[in-house]
Structure 1
Amino acid sequence: MNMPVREVFPRVWAMGRRKAVAMGNRRRDIRAPTYCDETIAGDLHRFVAVPDIGDCEPVLELAARILEHRFNLLGSGWTRLSGSVKCEGLEGNLYSAADTSINAANRPESERIRALIDKTYEPINWHLDFKSGYRWGRDVWYQDVPYGHLPGVDIKVPWELARMQHLPTLAFAFALADGLEKYAGEFRNQVLDFIVHNPPRFGVNWRCTMDVGIRIANWLVARDLFVAAGATFDDEFEAIFARSVLEHARHIRGNLEWDPDFRANHYLANIVGLLYGAAYLPLNDETDAWLTFAVQELHAEVLRQFGPDGAGFEASTAYHGLSAEMALYGTALALGLGEERSATFSETCFSRLAAAAQFLRDVTKPNGRIAQVGDSDSGRFLKFFNEKCLNHEHLLAAFGGLFGDANGLPETAIVASLAGNRKIAARPEERDLRLSSGFVPTGRVLLDVEFVLPEAGLSKDLRLAAYPDFGLYIWRSERLF
C-alpha cells in the first residue's frame, strides 16, 4: 500500500510508542499482581427478566452437556474439556505441552479463589486447542501470546470456549427446573475456575479484546437471568465476580482494536462489551466516562459499519448478522439505562438499525437460512440456545424486542427488558433503487439479460430487494428466491 511520506512518520512514531509502553506494562505486570485490589462499592445493576422459554427439553439437554463440560466449538462436535483430553491432531500435526503454572505474582490470589470452588468440580482446559493438542502457557503476558506460528494450531478454539456463551443456557435451565441449584452452582464454579486460571492480562484468553468483550457481556447477562429466576450467590463470589467485571472493562478500554482506516466487528465488540461492563457496574466517575464513550462510539460505528441500505460494509451476510446483533444488544441496553444515565441516539441511527434488520429478512431463504455471501466464522454475541448455523431467526426475534415486530421467541422479550420496554418507531431510509450506467465501472460492458421463468406463477407478487452498497440484488416471490 502506497502511503504519503507525511503519514509514515506519525505511524512509525505511534508504533514505537506502543512498543515502549508495552515494555513498561509487561515489566509491571510480571512483578506485581494483576488482580485489582479494589472492592466494588454497591451492587451490580439488573436489566433482564426471564422470558417465556417454551419447549424446555432442548434447553435441559444442552445444559446437561455443559454440566459435563462438553462443548461444540467451531463445528468440533461435543467434546469433553475437563481432565485428560485425548487430542487427535489436525492434518498430521499433533502437539503435546505440559500445563504451566500461574505467574508468581498472581499465584497467592489465584489459590485463594481456587479454595472457594466446590471440591467435586473438575477444572476446564481453558488454554488448550484440543484439536492439535497445543496448549498456551498461563504465565505468558497477553501481548506475547503467539498465534499463527505453528501448522495446525488454531487459537480460535480456546478463544471460542472462553467467550463462555454457554452460561446463559445454564440460567434458563435453572429457571425451567424451578431453581435446581446444580445449575447456579455450575455457573459459580465455572466463573471462579476461569478467574483462577486466567489472571488479568495473562494467557491466551486476554489476547483478543473482542473475546474479552463478548465474555463479560455473557457473564453479566447470565448472572442477571439467574438472579431474575431467584438464584442467590454468596458474598465472596459476588465480590470476586464484580471485581472481575471491573478488570474486564479496564482491559477493554486499554486495548481497543481501533484503527483509523479499517475497524470492523472487533472494534464493535470492544465497544459493546465495555458498554455492558459500565452499565452493570455501580455508577462512578470511571464507569460514567466509559458509558459516555461507549454510547458515543456505538452510535458512530452503527453509521459507519452499516451503509444507507442497511447492509454491513464487510460484504459478508454472516458478518452482517454478527455486527447487527452486537449493535442491537448494545443499543437496547443503552436505551434501558434509565433517566440517571440515559443515552441518546439519532433517528438516522435507528433507521440504519431498522435497515440492517430488513437486510437480514431479505437475505433469508425460504428454508430459514441466510444466503451465505462472503466470509463466515459462525460468530455470535449472546448465544442463548444451541445455534443453527446461518439461521438468524433468533436475531430477527431480537430486533422485534426493540422495533415491536415480535415473533414469539425468547430473544424478543430479552431485548425488550434490556431496553426498559422502550420501542423505536423507525423505518429504513427511502432509497432510489434504479440502476444507471454510472453503476458500471468505465471500460466494462453493460449487458441487458432477460431471465425467462418456466412458470408464470413464479413471478406473482415478485419484488426486488436491492442493496447496491453491498452489491446484492434479490428477486423473491412466494415461490421464487
Structure 2
Amino acid sequence: MSHPSHNSELHKKSISIHNFWEKVYTKLLRICKNTILQIHDWLFHSYQFSEFYTNELNLTIASRSENFIFKNDTWLVEVSNHFMSHRFDLLGSGWTKVYFGMKFRGLEEIHYSTANHPSPDVLGNWLKGLINRSNLAKSQSIWNLIEQPYTPIDWQIDFKSGYRWNEKTWFTNIQFGHKTGVDIKVPWELARMQHLPLLAKAYSFAQKQLNGFSDPEVYIKELQNQILDFIATNPPRWGVNWASTMDVSIRIINWLLAYDLFTAFGAKFDDSFSKIFFNSVYEHGNHISNHLEWHPKYRNNHYLSNIVGLLFVAAYLPSTKKTNSWLIFSTKELINEIKLQFHEDGSNFEASTCYHRLSSEFAIYATALILGLSAEKRQALRNNGSKFSRYSEKSKIMFHPLPNSNDESPFPDWYFDRLEKMVEFTQKITKPDGHIPQIGDNDSGRLVKLFPIYRKMEVKTAKENYLNLSTFSELQDQDNYWMEDFLDHSNMVSAFCGLFIHSDYDNFGVNDEEKLFIRALSRGTKVNITNSSSVIIKPGITDKSSSEDWQNCDLLLSRYSPSEIITNIHFDNSINSDSLDYFSYSDFGLFICKSKEFYLSIRCGSVGQRGNGGHAHNDQLSIELFVNGKNIIADPGSYLYSPLVNRRNEYRSVFSHFAPHIMSKEPSDLTKGIFSLNDPKAEVLYFGKKGFVGCHEGYGFKVYRRITITDFDIIISDYS
C-alpha cells in the first residue's frame, strides 16, 4: 500500500504538470487565433456588420426621464465648452486642445515630434496615409457622415510628450514603456470619452436656453461627430485604443450612457449615425468578449471592467443567442469577482483607496443595471445558456429574494452586504475635509464622470501651485481654471444611496443627481438592507485592543529603547482625544482614528492583489494626519506610472511616506517591476484607545512603530 503523503505528492505533481500544459495550450491557442485574425484584418476590413442597426437599443434612462432632472453646476458651461473645443485635462496635462499637428509642452522637458501630420479634408482623402488599406474605404465612408466643419481629434497621441502611436499597428503589437517620457494612458484616457455624458447634461440646459449654453443641436452634432470621428480613425483592432480591453469597456459604457441621456432629453439622431453607432457597440462587445483580461490568480480591476463593459453591451443590445450569453456570463462573473476583489469588511483587495472607488463604481453601476433589466433580459438570465467562456462554469443563475422585498434578483444576500461595506469603508476613511487618504496608487480612474467635483481657481494660481502646470499657456492667466477633485469620493456614496435604502449615508453622499441617475438605471428598484438578516461585519476596534495587549507591547519595545526615534507633533488646540472614533480595516491594512477636528490614518497590512502588490507603495506604518482643518502629513500620490520609471519609484518609495526609514534602504525592492511589490509582512500588535503599535519585516528584520495620542500631541516612536 502506498504511503498517503507519497500519494499526495504525486497528486500535487500531477496537478502541476496538468496546469503547465493547460497554460501552454491556452497560450498557443491564443497565438493561433490572433494570427488568423490579424491575417484576416490585413486582407479584409475589420468593421463588423450586425443585425442591430435596424432595431432600437434597450434604453434604460430614457424610459424614466420624467423623474430625472439635472442641476446646473457653475462649472458646466465652461467645462462643456472645453470639450466642444476638443480641450481636455487628463492625467495632469492641463486643459489642452487635441488635434493633428498640435504643439506639445512635453513631460519634464521630454518632447517627441511628428515630422508629418495629415491635413484633414471633407472628402476623407487625408485618411489615405493614416488608415490601413483594408479599412480605408469603410473609414472614408464613415468620415463622410461627419457634419462639417469639424476638426478631428488625434486619438493616437500622447498629448503631453508628443509621442504618437500608429493607426496601422495591429492592437496586440502596440508597444508601451519602451520610450522615456511616453505615457500610453493619455490616449487611453482620452478615448474613454468620459466627457460625452457631460455633453448630454449641457444639452439638457441648452434646451432651456440658459445663459452660456449653445444651441441644443450643436451638442447633438458634436456627440455624433466625435463618435464618428473615433470610429473612422480607429478601425476595430487597429491602433492604440484597442490595446487595453479595460479602456474599450469604459469607452462603450460612456457611449451608451451618453446616447441614453441625450435620448432621455429628446434628442433625435441621424439614422446613418445610429446604424454606425449600433454596429460599433456590437464591435466593442465582440472585442471585450474575445480579449478578457483574465488571470487565474492576478486578475484585478481590469477584468472587473471587462465584465461590466460586456454587461452594458449585452443589456443595451437586443436579445440574441450571443448577447444573452454575454449577459449570463457577465452577471455570473460580476458576482464571483465582487467576492474575490472585495474583502468581507468591504475594502478592495488592491491596497489602494482610489482603486477601491473605481472598482466600487463598477460594482454599483453594474448592480443597478442588472436590477433594472427588462422582463425579456431577466428571462434570459433565468435560462441556462450555453457556456460562453472557459473562465465561467456552465451553471444556471439562481435568483434570490431581494432583502425585505417580494422581488427577486440574481444576487445573494452576502452580495448586498458587501456593497454596503464598500461604501461604509469610504465613509469611515474620509477626512473631515471630505477627502480620502491616498493609500497606494491613484491614477484618477473613474467609470463615469457625469457628476465630477471641480474646484475653481485662476489659471495663474494653478500654475503657481502645481509644478506640472508651471509652463501651461493654453489659457490666459486671468481665466478660470477648473480643477477636478479626485480625492472627494462622496459621489460614489451618493450612487449607492440611489440604489439602497440606507439612511446612514444620506448626509454623506449628498449628490441627489447621482442618486436619481442610479435610480433611473435600476428602473426605480431600491434594495432595503436596513434590516437584513445577513451577517455584516462592522468596523471597529481590533481584537488586539486590550490593556494586556498594550502592556505586552510595552514589554516588547522596552528591549529596543536605546534605538528609539521619537517624533512629537504638538497641537495648538485640544483635539479631545476621548472623543475619537476608531475604525479597523485589517483586511486592507488601514486603521483610522478620527473626530470632527482630528484625523489619523495608519497603514499596516497586505500589499494587495493576492500578494502581487501592483498598486501598493512602500508605505507600511506610514500615516496621514489632519488636525483642525489642516493637512499636517499627507501622502503625495502617484504622479506617473510607465513614462518615467525613476519618478514612479520615487513616489512609491518609503522616503515619500511618513514611515520608518532605515538609512537609504527600501523595505520592498522597487526594481522588481513598476507593478509589483514584495510583501513586508506588516502586523498590528495593538490598535485601540491607547494608540497603535505595529511592525513589519521589510528590511530583513522587524521595525516597530508606536503611536500615542493625547489632547495636545501625537507621539510617534520607531524602534529597530
Partners of 2:374 and 2:584 in 1: how far apart? 38
For 2:657, the equivalent position in structure 1 comes to none
Mark the CA change 1:83 to 1:359 in structure 2 (over 3 Å): closer, same or farther: same
Q: For residue 92 of structure 1, report the CA deviation from its aligned partner.
A: 4.1
| Alignment partner of 1:419 is 2:497 | no
Mark the CA change 1:420 to 1:6 in structure 2 (over 3 Å): closer, same or farther: same
Percentage of matched positions with identical amino acids = 42
CA contact (8 A) 2:575 2:598 kept: no
Mark the CA change 1:436 to 1:452 in structure 2 (over 3 Å): closer, same or farther: farther
* Deviation string, structure 1 residues 153-193 (Cα, Å, up to 9, x no partner): 11101000000000011000000111711111100100000
For 2:583, the equivalent position in structure 1 comes to 465
Residue identity in the other structure for 2:421: A
For 1:30, the equivalent position in structure 2 comes to 42
Q: For residue 340 of structure 1, report the CA deviation from its aligned partner.
A: 2.4
Residue identity in the other structure for 2:288: I
SS in 1 for 2:99: coil
For 1:378, the equivalent position in structure 2 comes to 444
Partners of 2:146 and 2:554 in 1: how far apart? 68
> Would you say how many aligned residue pairs link Structure 1 and Structure 2?
473
For 2:304, the equivalent position in structure 1 comes to 268
Mark the CA change 1:432 to 1:479 in structure 2 (over 3 Å): closer, same or farther: closer
Partners of 2:511 and 2:242 in 1: how far apart? 37
For 2:412, the equivalent position in structure 1 comes to 346
Map 1:145-294 to 2 at 5 A: 145-178=174-207, 180-294=216-330
SS in 2 for 1:473: strand
CA contact (8 A) 2:50 2:282 kept: no
Partners of 1:368 and 1:478 in 2: how far apart? 11
Map 1:360-379 to 2 at 5 A: 360-379=426-445
Residue identity in the other structure for 1:377: D
Mark the CA change 1:460 to 1:70 in structure 2 (over 3 Å): closer, same or farther: same
SS in 1 for 2:438: coil
Map 1:21-170 to 2 at 5 A: 21-40=33-52, 41-48=54-61, 49=64, 51-97=68-114, 98=116, 100-170=129-199
Worse-matched range after superposition: 94-103 or 54-63 = 94-103
CA contact (8 A) 1:95 1:132 kept: yes
For 2:494, the equivalent position in structure 1 comes to 397
Mark the CA change 1:433 to 1:88 in structure 2 (over 3 Å): closer, same or farther: closer
The two structures have a TM-score, normalised by structure 2, of 0.63
Q: For residue 10 of structure 1, report the CA deviation from its aligned partner.
A: 2.7
Residue identity in the other structure for 2:516: A
Partners of 2:240 and 2:511 in 1: how far apart? 39
Residue identity in the other structure for 2:190: L
Partners of 1:460 and 1:435 in 2: how far apart? 18
SS in 1 for 2:528: coil
Q: For residue 456 of structure 1, report the CA deviation from its aligned partner.
A: 6.9
Partners of 2:575 and 2:178 in 1: how far apart? 56
Partners of 2:176 and 2:540 in 1: how far apart? 45
Task: Give the superposed CA RMSD.
Answer: 2.4
Mark the CA change 1:371 to 1:143 in structure 2 (over 3 Å): closer, same or farther: same
Worse-matched range after superposition: 44-53 or 314-323 = 44-53
* Greater relative contact order (Cα < 8 A, sep 6+): 1
Residue identity in the other structure for 1:187: L
Q: For residue 11 of structure 1, report the CA deviation from its aligned partner.
A: 2.0
Q: Which runs of 4+ in 1 moved over 4 A?
A: 3-6, 431-434, 445-449, 451-457
Q: Which runs of 5+ in 1 are unaligned?
A: 439-444
| Alignment partner of 1:318 is 2:354 | yes
Q: For residue 339 of structure 1, report the CA deviation from its aligned partner.
A: 2.6
Greater fraction helix = 1
Residue identity in the other structure for 1:44: L
CA contact (8 A) 2:519 2:525 kept: yes
For 2:595, the equivalent position in structure 1 comes to 477
CA contact (8 A) 1:59 1:385 kept: no
Partners of 1:289 and 1:8 in 2: how far apart? 29
Partners of 1:446 and 1:313 in 2: how far apart? 29
Partners of 1:27 and 1:456 in 2: how far apart? 71
Q: Which runs of 5+ in 2 are unaligned?
A: 1-14, 118-128, 208-214, 379-408, 453-483, 546-551, 558-567, 600-720
Q: For residue 4 of structure 1, report the CA deviation from its aligned partner.
A: 5.0
SS in 1 for 2:424: helix
CA contact (8 A) 1:461 1:477 kept: yes
Partners of 1:158 and 1:447 in 2: how far apart? 54
For 2:21, the equivalent position in structure 1 comes to 9
Residue identity in the other structure for 2:191: A
Partners of 2:553 and 2:500 in 1: how far apart? 40
Residue identity in the other structure for 1:43: E
SS in 2 for 1:57: coil
Residue identity in the other structure for 1:383: K
CA contact (8 A) 1:458 1:478 kept: no
Mark the CA change 1:203 to 1:416 in structure 2 (over 3 Å): closer, same or farther: same
Q: For residue 5 of structure 1, report the CA deviation from its aligned partner.
A: 5.2
The two structures have a TM-score, normalised by structure 1, of 0.93
CA contact (8 A) 2:584 2:591 kept: yes
SS in 1 for 2:536: coil
CA contact (8 A) 2:539 2:583 kept: no
Q: For residue 474 of structure 1, report the CA deviation from its aligned partner.
A: 1.1
* Deviation string, structure 1 residues 313-332 (Cα, Å, up to 9, x no partner): 00110000000011110110
Partners of 2:262 and 2:586 in 1: how far apart? 44
Mark the CA change 1:37 to 1:341 in structure 2 (over 3 Å): closer, same or farther: closer
Partners of 1:390 and 1:320 in 2: how far apart? 12
For 1:441, the equivalent position in structure 2 comes to none
Q: For residue 22 of structure 1, report the CA deviation from its aligned partner.
A: 1.6
Partners of 2:229 and 2:317 in 1: how far apart? 22
Partners of 1:269 and 1:458 in 2: how far apart? 44
Mark the CA change 1:233 to 1:469 in structure 2 (over 3 Å): closer, same or farther: same
CA contact (8 A) 1:332 1:419 kept: yes
Q: For residue 215 of structure 1, report the CA deviation from its aligned partner.
A: 0.2
Partners of 1:432 and 1:113 in 2: how far apart? 54
Partners of 2:596 and 2:541 in 1: how far apart? 23
CA contact (8 A) 1:212 1:248 kept: yes
* Deviation string, structure 1 residues 55-100 (Cα, Å, up to 9, x no partner): 3431121111111100001111000002431023323432223455
Q: For residue 19 of structure 1, report the CA deviation from its aligned partner.
A: 1.7
Q: For residue 6 of structure 1, report the CA deviation from its aligned partner.
A: 5.1
* Deviation string, structure 1 residues 413-443 (Cα, Å, up to 9, x no partner): 11011011111122671358554469xxxxx
Question: Which of the two has higher C-alpha Rg?
Answer: 2
Q: For residue 459 of structure 1, report the CA deviation from its aligned partner.
A: 3.6
CA contact (8 A) 1:347 1:426 kept: no
Partners of 1:95 and 1:235 in 2: how far apart? 41
CA contact (8 A) 1:311 1:320 kept: yes
Partners of 1:436 and 1:477 in 2: how far apart? 22
